[in-house]
C-alpha cells in the first residue's frame, strides 16, 4: 500500500469537539499534574495546560493518516509544533480545519514523513492555536520522493539553566489515553511486540505534556496563557515507569531550547525543543497603501493624527491654512510644511496643502491634491477649526458665520468631493470633529456649539448614504491641549491632555477594522466614552383621533420627559415607525418594560440596586461590598450599607468588607437567576476576597429578582 501523494493540499475538516473542565483536569492528571500544581487539576480557578490542545484534537491525526494512506502498524509521532494565539478556555467547542502540507521520503526501510497543519477555533470565535504535526511512517519510505531538509539545531554549550526531574508512573499511559489517543501501542502488549517494542510505550505527547509543565514551572509559573509556542522532535520511545529529566536553556527573554532525557538510560527521548513565551502580540493596525486627508493638520490634534497615520503606513495630505486662532488675517504655508518635513524625516510619505476649507473651491482642491499625488482618498478627518467666543448678544453675524464656515461648511466642502472618490472605490472612513460644547453646551460659544452639533447631523445622514459603499462616518469630541484650549484649560493639566490621548480612538475610527458607523465618542486624557441622542419610551395621550389638550400634556409630562429605558435610533424611520405604531402597540403591563430591561446589563443592575434594597434586613448591618466586574460591560462599583441605608458608588473603595470579582455576563446571569450564586462560586466564576461570610448577606439585602 503506497502513500497517497495526492492528499497534499486537500482541505480536511472542519471537525468539532466539545470539552469541559473534567477533560481539562483528566489531561492534567495524565501528564503528571497533581496537588503540586493544583491550578490545573481543580475546577475552582481552573487553568488549562496549553498542550491539552493537541490531546483535544488528537482525532485529527486520523484524518492525516487516512488521507495519506499511512500503514498504521508503523505510525509514530515524529515532530510536534504548537503555536498559541489565545489562552485555552476551560470549556467549549473546538473546531479544527487543516491539510497535509508535505510528504517526505527518507528512503527505503527508513520511512516517510507526513506533515499536517491545522488551525483550531474556540466556540467563542477566537482562533486558539495552530498545530504542525509530523507523522513518521516507518514502513512507507522508498517511493522516490524528496527527503526533508536537514534541520540544524544546537543546544548551548553550557549546563542547562533549569533541570526538572519527573517520574511518570508505570500506569501513566492508561491514564493519558483517556484524553484521546487510545492507540493500542500504548496499552496492548501484543500490539507493542508486533510493532517491535518490548512492551507498551509512553505516548510521545504525554512526555510532551510533562515537558510543557516543566517549562511553564521554570519560565511562566502560574501563567499558562504566556506560552506562545512549543515545538519538538520525538527521538526515542520511553517505557512507562522510566524517570525523565527536562533540561532547559533560556536563550533570550522570550525563548528557550529544551530536551527531555530518559534519566535511567541517558537517551534523549525528546530533542530539538523550542519554547517561546510572553504576552500575546497585539495585532498592529496598519494603513499601508491608504491615503488620508486631514484638515487643519498643521498643529494640535490634526498634526498628531497625521504623524500617527504616516507612522503606520498611510500616505498623508496635511492640509492647513496656517491662519490665526480666530481665522482672521491671511494664512501661512509653514505649519503644514513643517508637519510634512517631520513625516518625511520618519520615512513616511506626505504632501502639504494650504487650501481654505471654508470655501467650496478649497474643499475641491484639497481632495484633488490627494488624488493627484496618491490616486485616491480612503480616510478623511475633518479637523480644521477656529474659535470666536462671545456671549450671544455680542455674537455679530460675521463671528457666527466665520465659525460655521470653517467647522460645518468646511466639513461639507471637503467631505463632498472625498465622498465621491470613496464611493467609486467602495471604501471610506470619515471622522467629524465635534465638541462637548456642541453636545452639551458651553457659555459664550453659540456659534461653535451650533457648528459642532451640525457636524453630528451631517454624520447622521452621511452614514446612511455611505452604508452600501463601505463608507463609515463617525465623530469624535476631543479634549486636548492646543492653541484653541490654552487659555481655557489649567496649565498643570496640559501634559495629561496631550493629543496623543485622543489619536488612538480617531485612528481606530479611520481603520479598515472599524465597522462602527454613525457614532459619537468623547476622547481625552485616556478616558473614552460614547455620546448619543437617547429617545425615551414616551407615552400616547388621548385616543390618537383627537389632539390632546395642553393640560393632558402637563399631566403626562413626567412620562414624556423620562429617558428611562430610552433607546438610540439609527435613522429617522425607526423613530417615525414607533410614533406611528404607538397606538397599535399592546400596552405594556405596568413596570414590565422596566423589569425586562432593568437587569440586562451590569450598569442597569447597579442602577436598580437602591430600589431593590431591603432596609429592614439591613437594620444592624454595617458592610461595604466592592464589585469588580470584568469585561466590556463591566466596571467597579461599591456599595456602603450602614444603619439601614444603602449607597451605591462607582469606583474603588479603600477598605471593603469583601470584594466580589466576576465577568460581566456571568454577573448578569447570576443576578437574573440563570447562574445560581453557589454554582458561580464553586465553579470559580465568582471570586470573593475578604469576608466571604458577609458576602452571603447580599441575597437578603437586595431583592433584584
C-alpha pair distances (Å), 626 with each of 345, 635, 640, 655, 673:
51, 11, 9, 9, 21
Which residue of the chain is nearest ligand NAI when measured via CB?
300
- Cβ contacts of residue 299 below 8 Å, gap of 6+? 320, 335, 482, 483
How would you classify the pairing of strands 127-137 and 92-107?
A: unpaired
417 binds ligand NAI (CB under 6 A): no
Binding residue (CB under 6 A) for ligand NAI from 75, 82, 201, 384: 384
Query: Considering only CA atoms, which of 385, 403, 422 is closest in space to residue 302?
Result: 385
Q: Residue 54 or 506: which CB sits closer to ligand NAI?
A: 506
String of DSSP letters for 144-176: S-PPPPPPP----SS--SEEEEE---TTHHHHH
- Give the interface segment with ligand NAI, choosing from 90-98, 253-261, 300-308, 457-465 (CB under 6 A): 300-308
Nearer to ligand NAI, 26 or 520 (CB): 520
- Tell which positions 672-701 bind ligand NAI, by CB under 6 A: none
80 and 235 Cβ atoms separated by less than 8 Å: no
Residues in region 312-351 near ligand NAI by CB under 6 A: 319-323, 327, 335
111, 237, 299, 417: residue in contact with ligand NAI (rule CB under 6 A) = 299
363 belongs to the binding site for ligand NAI (CB under 6 A): no
User: Based on CB atoms, which residue is closest to ligand NAI, 532 or 541?
Assistant: 532
Rounded Cα gap, residues 212 and 33, in angstroms? 11
User: Which stretch, 341-349, 381-389, 465-473, 571-579, contacts ligand NAI (CB under 6 A)?
Assistant: 381-389
CA torsion sign for 45, 49, 54, 58 is negative
Among 80, 172, 260, 356, binds ligand NAI (CB under 6 A): 356
Rounded CA-CA distance 257/275 in Å is: 6
Could you give the C-alpha distances from 247 to 202, 212, 258, 270, 320, in angstroms and in order?
19, 12, 5, 10, 62
Asked if 70 is part of the footprint of ligand NAI (rule: CB under 6 A), the reply reads: no
Q: Which of 19, 412, 448, 627 is catalytic?
A: 448
Q: In angstroms, what is the minimal distance from the CB of 377 to ligand NAI?
A: 16
Which range in 116-124, 380-388, 538-546, 615-623 contacts ligand NAI by CB under 6 A?
380-388
Report if residue 302 touches ligand NAI, rule: CB under 6 A. yes
Size of the chain in residues = 705
Binding residue for ligand NAI (CB under 6 A) from 49, 232, 386, 523? 386
230-269: contacts with ligand NAI (CB under 6 A): none
Contact between 435 and ligand NAI by CB under 6 A: the answer reads yes
Between 48 and 484, CB nearer to ligand NAI: 484
Rounded least distance, CB 325 to ligand NAI, Å: 6
The residues in 490-549 that bind ligand NAI, with binding defined as CB under 6 A, are: none
In this structure, are strands 658-663 and 622-630 parallel, antiparallel, or unpaired? parallel
Least distance (Å) between residue 485 CB and ligand NAI: 4
Looking at the Cβ atoms of 357 and 459, the one nearer to ligand NAI is: 357
578-608: buried (b, 16+ CB within 10 Å) or exposed (e) per residue? eeeeeeeeeeeeeeeebeebbbeebebbbeb
> Closest separation between CB of residue 527 and ligand NAI, Å?
13
Residue 48 Cα distances to 110, 125, 225, 267, 612, angstroms: 37, 18, 9, 30, 39
> Would residue 448 show up in a list of annotated catalytic residues for this protein?
yes
- Supply the minimum distance, in Å, between the C-beta of residue 280 and ligand NAI: 34
Minimum Å gap between C-beta 432 and ligand NAI is 9
Query: C-alpha distances in angstroms, 361 versus 368, 414, 578?
Result: 10, 9, 42
State which of residues 369, 433, 474, 475 lies at the interface with ligand NAI (CB under 6 A): 433
Q: Which three cell numbers stand for residue 174?
A: 492508561
414 near ligand NAI, judged by CB under 6 A: no
> Which run of H or of E encompasses 110?
none
CA distance 242 to 220: 26
Q: Is 120 an interacting residue with respect to ligand NAI (CB under 6 A)?
A: no
Provide Rg for the chain, Cα atoms. 33
CA 171 to chain centre: 42
Q: Which is nearer to ligand NAI, 247 or 319 (CB)?
A: 319
How many amino acids of this chain bind ligand NAI (CB under 6 A)?
Answer: 32
Confirm or reject binding of residue 357 to ligand NAI (CB under 6 A). Answer: yes
Residue number, 209 or 298, with CB nearest to ligand NAI: 298
Q: What is the DSSP string of 663-676?
A: EHHHHHHHHTTSS-
- Residue 273 makes contact with ligand NAI by CB under 6 A: no
Burial class (CB in 10 A: 0-12, 13-18, 19+), 367: buried
Instruction: Name the minimum Å distance from CB 149 to ligand NAI.
Output: 56
295 binds ligand NAI (CB under 6 A): yes
Smallest separation (angstroms) from ligand NAI to the CB of 215? 50
Strands, E, within 8-74: which ranges?
A: 11-19
Residue 332 vs 621, nearer CB to ligand NAI: 332
Among 111, 141, 200, 296, the residue binding ligand NAI under the rule CB under 6 A is 296
CA atoms within 13 A on the CB side of 93: 7
CA-to-CA separations, 73 to 55, 68, 184, 566, in angstroms, rounded: 21, 14, 10, 68
Nearer to ligand NAI, 173 or 299 (CB): 299
Q: Is 301 in the site for ligand NAI (CB under 6 A)?
A: yes
Q: What are phi and psi of 677, to 5 degrees?
A: -55, -40
Near ligand NAI in 466-485, by CB under 6 A:
478-480, 482-485
Instruction: List the strands of the sheet with 645-650, edge to edge.
Output: 645-650, 635-642, 622-630, 658-663, 686-690
Catalytic positions: 448
| Interacting residue ranges for ligand NAI, rule: CB under 6 A | 295-296, 298-302, 319-323, 327, 335, 356-358, 383-386, 406, 410, 433, 435, 478-480, 482-485
Amino acid at each position: 500500500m503506497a502513500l497517497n501523494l495526492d492528499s497534499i493540499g486537500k482541505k480536511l475538516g472542519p471537525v468539532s469537539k466539545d470539552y469541559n473542565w473534567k477533560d481539562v483536569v483528566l489531561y492534567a492528571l495524565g501528564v503528571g499534574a497533581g496537588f503540586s500544581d493544583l491550578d490545573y487539576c481543580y475546577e475552582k480557578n481552573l487553568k488549562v495546560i496549553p498542550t491539552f490542545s493537541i490531546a483535544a484534537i488528537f482525532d485529527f491525526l486520523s484524518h492525516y493518516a487516512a488521507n495519506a494512506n499511512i500503514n498504521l502498524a508503523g505510525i509514530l509521532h515524529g515532530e510536534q509544533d504548537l503555536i498559541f494565539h489565545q489562552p485555552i478556555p476551560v470549556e467549549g467547542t473546538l473546531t479544527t480545519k487543516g491539510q497535509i502540507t508535505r510528504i517526505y521520503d527518507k528512503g527505503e526501510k527508513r520511512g516517510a514523513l507526513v506533515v499536517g497543519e491545522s488551525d483550531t477555533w474556540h466556540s467563542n470565535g477566537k482562533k486558539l492555536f495552530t498545530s504542525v504535526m509530523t507523522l513518521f511512517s516507518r514502513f512507507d519510505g522508498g517511493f522516490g520522493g524528496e527527503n526533508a531538509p536537514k534541520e540544524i539545531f544546537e543546544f548551548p554549550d553550557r549546563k542547562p539553566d533549569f533541570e526538572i526531574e519527573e517520574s511518570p508512573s508505570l500506569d501513566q499511559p492508561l491514564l493519558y489515553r483517556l484524553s484521546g489517543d487510545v492507540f493500542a501501542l500504548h496499552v496492548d502488549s501484543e500490539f507493542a511486540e508486533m510493532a517491535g517494542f518490548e512492551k507498551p510505550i509512553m505516548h510521545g505527547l504525554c512526555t510532551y505534556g510533562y515537558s510543557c509543565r516543566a517549562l511553564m514551572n521554570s519560565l511562566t509559573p502560574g501563567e499558562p496563557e504566556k506560552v506562545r509556542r512549543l515545538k519538538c522532535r520525538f527521538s526515542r520511545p520511553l517505557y512507562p515507569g522510566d524517570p525523565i529529566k527536562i533540561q532547559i536553556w533560556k536563550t533570550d527573554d522570550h525563548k528557550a531550547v529544551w530536551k527531555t532525557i530518559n534519566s535511567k538510560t541517558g537517551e534523549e527521548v525528546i530533542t530539538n525543543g523550542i519554547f517561546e513565551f510572553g504576552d500575546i502580540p497585539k495585532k498592529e493596525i496598519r494603513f499601508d497603501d491608504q491615503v488620508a486627508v486631514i484638515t487643519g493638520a498643521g498643529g494640535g490634534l490634526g498634526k498628531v493624527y497625521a504623524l500617527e497615520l504616516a507612522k503606520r503606513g498611510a500616505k498623508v495630505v496635511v492640509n492647513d491654512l496656517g491662519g490665526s486662532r480666530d481665522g482672521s488675517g491671511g494664512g501661512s504655508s509653514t505649519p503644514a510644511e513643517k508637519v510634512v518635513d517631520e513625516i518625511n524625516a520618519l520615512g513616511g510619505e506626505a504632501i502639504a496643502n494650504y487650501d481654505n476649507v471654508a470655501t467650496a473651491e478649497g474643499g475641491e482642491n484639497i481632495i484633488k491634491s490627494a488624488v493627484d499625488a496618491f490616486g485616491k482618498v480612503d480616510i478623511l478627518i475633518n479637523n480644521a477649526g477656529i474659535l470666536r467666543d462671545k456671549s450671544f448678544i455680542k455674537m455679530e453675524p460675521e463671528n457666527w458665520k466665520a465659525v460655521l464656515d470653517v467647522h460645518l461648511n468646511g466639513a461639507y466642502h471637503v467631505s463632498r468631493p472625498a465622498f465621491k472618490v470613496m464611493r467609486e472605490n467602495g471604501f471610506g472612513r470619515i471622522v467629524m470633529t465635534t465638541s462637548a460644547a456642541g453636545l452639551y453646551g458651553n457659555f459664550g460659544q453659540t456659534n461653535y456649539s451650533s457648528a459642532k452639533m451640525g457636524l453630528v447631523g451631517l454624520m447622521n445622514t452621511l452614514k446612511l448614504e455611505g452604508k452600501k459603499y463601505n463608507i463609515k462616518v463617525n465623530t469624535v469630541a476631543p479634549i486636548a491641549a492646543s492653541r484653541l484650549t490654552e487659555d481655557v484649560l489649567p496649565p498643570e493639566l496640559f501634559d495629561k491632555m496631550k493629543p496623543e490621548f485622543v489619536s488612538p480612538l480617531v485612528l481606530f475610527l479611520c481603520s479598515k477594522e472599524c465597522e462602527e458607523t454613525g457614532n459619537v465618542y468623547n476622547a481625552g486624557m485616556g478616558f473614552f466614552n460614547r455620546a448619543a441622542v437617547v429617545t425615551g419610551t414616551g407615552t400616547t395621550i388621548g385616543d390618537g383621533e383627537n389632539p390632546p389638550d395642553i393640560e393632558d400634556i402637563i399631566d403626562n409630562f413626567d412620562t414624556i420627559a423620562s429617558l428611562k429605558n430610552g433607546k438610540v435610533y439609527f435613522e429617522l424611520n425607526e423613530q417615525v415607525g414607533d410614533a406611528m405604531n404607538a397606538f397599535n402597540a399592546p400596552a405594556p403591563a405596568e413596570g414590565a418594560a422596566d423589569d425586562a430591561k432593568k437587569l440586562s446589563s451590569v450598569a442597569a443592575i447597579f442602577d436598580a440596586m437602591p430600589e431593590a434594597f431591603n432596609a429592614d434586613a439591613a437594620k444592624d448591618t454595617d458592610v461595604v461590598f466592592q464589585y469588580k466586574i470584568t469585561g466590556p460591560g463591566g466596571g467597579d462599583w461599591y456599595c456602603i450599607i450602614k444603619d439601614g441605608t444603602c449607597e451605591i458608588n462607582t469606583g474603588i473603595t479603600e477598605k471593603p468588607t469583601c470584594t466580589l470579582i466576576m465577568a460581566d455576563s456571568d454577573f448578569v446571569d447570576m443576578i437574573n437567576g440563570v447562574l445560581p450564586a453557589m454554582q458561580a462560586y464553586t465553579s470559580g466564576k465568582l471570586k470573593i476576597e475578604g469576608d466571604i461570610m458577609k458576602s452571603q448577606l447580599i441575597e437578603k439585602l437586595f431583592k433584584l429578582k
